[in-house]
Amino acid sequence: MQHRIDGERLWARLLAMAQIGPIPGDGSCRLTLSDEDEAGRALLVSWCAARGFALRRDAIGNLFFRRQGRDADASPVLVGSHLDTQPTGGRFDGVLGVLAGLEVLETLADLGLETERSVDLCVWTNEEGSRFQPAMMGSGVACGILPLEQVLAASDADGVRVADELVRHGYDREPAPDVGLADCYLELHIEQGPILENTGKTIGVVTGGQGIRWYEIALHGEETHAGPVPMALRKDPVPLLARMIDLVHAIGGRDPQARCTIGQVRTHPGSINVVPGRIEMTVDLRHPDEAELDAMHDALMRGCRDLASSHPSIGLDVQLRWHSPVVRFDPSLAKLVRQSAERMGIAAHDMVSGAGHDAFHLARRVPTVMIFVPCRDGVSHNPREYASPEHVAAGANVLLSVVLERAMSRG
């Protein structure tokens, strides 16, 4: 017998969560550990408490809701994702994986199915890395990849630290479950790209994720008046910024699988009639092949050295802030996803994730796989982000099927 989730309940939950931190255009803004993020978490806590799913929290604010299995000693099956969003985020990125995970727990409870293994719903703190860097912070700490003290000290643009926000919201250093003891980790997510929609497939069988490198680059010149000083006498970093932009996009254009993004450019003091004394910019490089990502890194470092020497009056400082290596997910779990979709007559497509996810960290500790569903026009990190109720339900049903495969036996 093939069990099914309650698609209407899941869709209603997605719309209810979207009421928290709403922004124009049907989007969401719940920045990590903001009041909106905390309100979204509180709503989830209330839903889970109503079903008796016991909550545990760790020192970085990750949430773990457990539906107890028959064998308390058996390694649990983990499902989940994140609730924090980008500043101009959508209603599905991360939220779908969390609420589909809740829907799976509730469906198991509605059916009265006693699983051998416990099933834990995980909500990872700061997946987005927008307010606090790096991204995938909570899962990185839980997997022993990011040092707790380092991320607690991370601060936002206003100098507020992660540690300050955790204290403000009443998180304390509870003993964390060791995610390394889990049987597996399963994450449902919107694709955030155009492949599934363009191929007409409903389920993405995600076999891995591309590598990511984040950089912070500072260009140092000298502030001066925009009027009296001749161009040749200025120490204006803007011409070098133009060369840097060309360099980064030349690197990103080196092959169709390479990605480069300059997400932030800030001039200081940022006044219309002051030549900037300092310019800060960020660079995000990605590639599905680690050696190619290394080559992109080398090209960026070499290019920065060349530009620094051709602009001797301007200081150029490059910092690698974060490196998430190329990741491979578990082939046997990918096979379960493929078989589940096939059994349900749902078209599936093997693919690699372009976006980073908490599953990238989990995959370095336990067998892990992701399940994608299409998002309209491939758009995400945008209020326009949208996934249909049918695709949402299909993804959650495949998630339920794989959870049952893994949780119903100790095999």
Between 240 and 369, name the residue whose CB sits nearer to Mn ion.
Answer: 369
SS3 call for 33 = coil
Kindly give, in sequence order, each residue whose CB lies less than 8 Å from that of residue 135, ignoring residues fewer than 6 positions away: 126, 127, 128, 129, 214, 322, 324, 356
Pairwise CA distance, residues 310 & 406, whole Å: 59
Residue 10 interacts with ligand HGY (CB under 6 A)?
Answer: no
Cβ 8 to ligand HGY, closest distance in Å?
Answer: 28
Give residue number: closest CB to Mn ion. Answer: 94
Look at residue 135 and give the partner it binds from ligand HGY, Mn ion, none, a contact being a CB closer than 5 to 8 Å depending on partner kind. Answer: ligand HGY
Between 96 and 355, name the residue whose CB sits nearer to ligand HGY.
Answer: 355
- Going from the C-alpha of 33 to that of each of 39, 46, 258, the distances in angstroms are 10, 18, 32
Cβ 321 to ligand HGY, closest distance in Å?
Answer: 12
Look at residue 129 and give the partner it binds from ligand HGY, Mn ion, none, a contact being a CB closer than 5 to 8 Å depending on partner kind. Answer: ligand HGY
Tell me which residues in 39-98 interact with Mn ion (CB under 5 A): 93-94
Helices (H) and strands (E) in the chain, counts: 12, 18
Residue 27 interacts with Mn ion (CB under 5 A)?
Answer: no
Between 229 and 379, name the residue whose CB sits nearer to Mn ion.
Answer: 379
Write the burial class of residue 175 (CB in 10 Å: 0-12 exposed, 13-18 middle, 19+ buried).
exposed
Cβ 274 to Mn ion, closest distance in Å?
Answer: 35
Between 224 and 261, name the residue whose CB sits nearer to ligand HGY.
Answer: 261
Identity at 296, one-letter amino acid code = M
Between 118 and 130, name the residue whose CB sits nearer to Mn ion.
Answer: 130
Look at residue 94 and give the partner it binds from ligand HGY, Mn ion, none, a contact being a CB closer than 5 to 8 Å depending on partner kind. Answer: Mn ion
Between 183 and 385, name the residue whose CB sits nearer to Mn ion.
Answer: 385
| Binding-site member from 69, 288, 356, 383 for ligand HGY (CB under 6 A) | 356
Between 48 and 351, name the residue whose CB sits nearer to ligand HGY.
Answer: 351
Residue 138 interacts with ligand HGY (CB under 6 A)?
Answer: no
Residue 402 interacts with ligand HGY (CB under 6 A)?
Answer: no
Tell me which residues in 102-131 interact with ligand HGY (CB under 6 A): 127-129
Locate tokens 């069988």: which residue?
205
Locate tokens 């326009």: which residue?
384
**Would the CA dihedral through 157, 161, 167, 171 be positive or negative?**
positive
Look at residue 358 and give the partner it binds from Mn ion, ligand HGY, none, a contact being a CB closer than 5 to 8 Å depending on partner kind. Answer: none
Pairwise CA distance, residues 285 & 296, whole Å: 8
Pairwise CA distance, residues 387 & 378, whole Å: 10
Please check whether residue 100 is in contact with residue 395, taking contact to mean a CB–CB distance below 8 angstroms: yes
Give residue number: closest CB to ligand HGY. Answer: 356
Please check whether residue 218 is in contact with residue 279, taking contact to mean a CB–CB distance below 8 angstroms: yes
Residue 80 interacts with ligand HGY (CB under 6 A)?
Answer: no
Cross-strand pairs, 259: 286
Contacts with Mn ion by CB under 5 A lie at: 93-94
Interacting residues toward ligand HGY by CB under 6 A? 127-129, 135, 355-356
